[in-house]
């Protein structure tokens, strides 16, 4: 993406005019360095939300944070919304679904007794659970079997993000009652609109509260008779476009769902407030690339506007700093001298590779410096790129150690 992303509208009742980004003092150490261990060790931190554009390593970051927190004594559940299912593979779980599954191989420090569960959002199953919990058995059956509901719960734009908020609210409420978890780590969708879960309740409610839906519920009696002619024109047109059966399915669904909608809106509002609470921490995840850092700046500004508590920025896959103190200019000057005598010099090739790596590190440092200049209040953790992919708990431990600022081993 070559330009700053377009603003997206948040939930109006919660949007302040221009709130400052809330960076908790527990997340800061030594200026702008993000102290990950202090964040996950703090018993007041109950929810960590990892957000950022696609392909920057949110899933790996979420899993590594969750594993490190569990091994430092927290009772953790990590919720992923990533359809690639990499989280299940890295944690050695055959299947991730809507039910938390224990992760084996977690090694809590002596006397700390941490644990880790993992799950993947099943948006249709979550929608079904909400309907079943809010409606009578007869009405729930009527809704769940409705073809329009099946399409809405499976593929309607915003449903995944809305159900992510529903599931987060469910997990938090269950954890408050049972004490099963004291930390929830949320991995957001792998797309540019990674903050859509903030907007999803408003988007879905706008759809279900819209004029067209209200027309579908309009009875042909009393004052509504004045609308009958216009309504007939609309329904006739829709019948030709959609078919009579589709329109009937929509009307049946809306009539059945109407009594439940207030509960959906109330829970979404409650979860939104939970995300704004002091026990929640947002981590913006980015890669050291111009587009990804622009996205990160956008996320920071958006979180600030919605008064969400921002813990910091994680820059993933940073180029490792080359060993030695030879600058790129010095290396290239040496290359020119060597190739005068030996065009195929191996040493010249290695020096050129060193120069390229130094320049890459310098470019990435400039990107981070520009971000820090624009957002000096946001602490940062820089995670060097690993030689290979992360595919097991050992790899996640290594990422967790790097997040916490430990030197690579």
Domain that holds residue 374: 21-322+366-403
Q: What is the pLDDT of residue 189?
A: 72
Question: Do 371 and 357 fall within a single domain?
Answer: no
Question: Do 334 and 197 fall within a single domain?
Answer: no
Q: What is the pLDDT of residue 316?
A: 94
Question: Do 127 and 98 fall within a single domain?
Answer: yes
Question: Do 83 and 60 fall within a single domain?
Answer: yes
Q: What is the pLDDT of residue 182?
A: 96
Q: What is the pLDDT of residue 123?
A: 81
Question: Do 222 and 254 fall within a single domain?
Answer: yes
Question: Do 300 and 342 fall within a single domain?
Answer: no
Strands (E), 18-80: 28-29, 33-34, 47-51, 75-80
- Could you report the per-residue pLDDT of 30-59, keeping only the tens digit for each? 348 999 999 999 999 999 999 888 889 888
Maximal C-alpha separation, the chain? 98
From the list 100, 193, 187, 191, the residue with the least C-alpha distance to 396 is: 187
Q: What is the CATH number of the domain that holds 128?
A: 3.40.50.300
Residue 112 tokens, joined: 């700390």
Question: Do 146 and 108 fall within a single domain?
Answer: yes
Question: Do 351 and 308 fall within a single domain?
Answer: no
Mean pLDDT of the chain: 77
Residue 231 included in any domain: yes
The yes-or-no verdict on residue 29 having pLDDT over 80 is no
Residue 191 included in any domain: yes
Question: Do 173 and 224 fall within a single domain?
Answer: yes
- Could you report the per-residue pLDDT of 148-172, keeping only the tens digit for each? 788 777 766 567 777 888 888 889 9
Q: What is the pLDDT of residue 45?
A: 97
Burial of 358 (0-12, 13-18, 19+ CB in 10 A): buried
Question: Do 65 and 156 fall within a single domain?
Answer: yes
- Could you report the per-residue pLDDT of 260-293, keeping only the tens digit for each? 666 666 777 788 889 899 999 999 999 999 999 9
Query: What pTM did the predictor assign?
Result: 0.79
Tokens 């509260």, residue located:
209
**Percent of the chain whose predicted confidence (pLDDT) is above 90:** 33
Range in 148-152, 210-214, 301-305, 328-332 with the lowest mean pLDDT: 210-214
End-to-end CA distance of the chain: 35
Q: What is the pLDDT of residue 61?
A: 94
The yes-or-no verdict on residue 92 having pLDDT over 60 is yes
Question: Do 203 and 311 fall within a single domain?
Answer: yes
Residue 300 included in any domain: yes
pLDDT level of residue 399 (50, 70, 90 thresholds): very high
Question: Do 352 and 282 fall within a single domain?
Answer: no
């Amino acid at each position: 993406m070559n330009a700053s992303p377009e603003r997206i509208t948040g939930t109006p009742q919660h949007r302040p005019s221009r709130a400052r980004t809330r960076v908790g003092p527990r997340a800061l150490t030594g200026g702008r360095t993000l102290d990950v261990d202090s964040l996950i060790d703090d018993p007041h931190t109950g929810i960590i939300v990892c957000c950022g554009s696609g392909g920057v390593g949110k899933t790996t970051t979420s899993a590594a944070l969750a594993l490190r927190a569990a091994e430092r004594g927290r009772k953790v559940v990590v919720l992923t919304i990533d359809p690639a299912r990499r989280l299940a593979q890295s944690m050695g779980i055959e299947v991730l679904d809507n039910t938390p599954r224990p992760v084996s191989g977690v090694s809590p420090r002596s006397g700390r007794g941490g644990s880790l569960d993992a799950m993947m959002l099943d948006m249709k199953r979550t929608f079904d659970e909400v309907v079943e919990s809010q409606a009578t058995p007869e009405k729930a059956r009527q809704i769940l079997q409705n073809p329009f509901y099946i399409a809405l719960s499976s593929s309607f734009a915003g449903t995944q993000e809305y159900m992510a908020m529903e599931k987060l609210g469910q997990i938090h409420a269950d954890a408050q009652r049972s004490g099963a978890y004291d930390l929830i780590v949320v991995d957001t969708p792998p797309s540019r609109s990674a903050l859509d879960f903030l907007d999803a309740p408003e988007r879905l409610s706008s759809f279900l509260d819209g004029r067209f839906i209200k027309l579908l519920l309009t009875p042909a009696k009393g004052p509504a008779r004045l609308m009958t002619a216009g309504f007939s024109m609309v329904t006739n047109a829709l019948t030709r476009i959609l078919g009579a059966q589709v329109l009937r399915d929509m009307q049946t669904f809306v009539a059945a769902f109407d009594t439940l909608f207030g509960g959906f809106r109330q829970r979404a509002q409650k979860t939104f407030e939970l995300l704004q609470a002091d026990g929640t921490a947002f981590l913006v995840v980015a890669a050291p690339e111009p587009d990804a850092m622009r996205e990160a700046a956008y996320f920071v500004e958006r979180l600030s506007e919605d008064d969400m508590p921002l813990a910091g920025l994680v820059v993933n896959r940073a180029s490792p700093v080359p060993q030695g103190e030879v600058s790129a200019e010095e290396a290239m000057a040496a290359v020119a001298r060597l190739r005068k005598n030996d065009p195929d010099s191996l040493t010249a090739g290695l020096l050129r590779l060193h120069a390229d790596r130094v320049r890459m590190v310098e470019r990435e440092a400039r990107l981070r410096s520009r971000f820090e200049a624009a957002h000096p209040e946001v602490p940062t953790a820089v995670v060097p790129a690993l030689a290979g992919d992360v595919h097991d708990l050992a790899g996640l431990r290594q990422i967790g150690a790097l997040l916490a600022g430990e030197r690579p081993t």
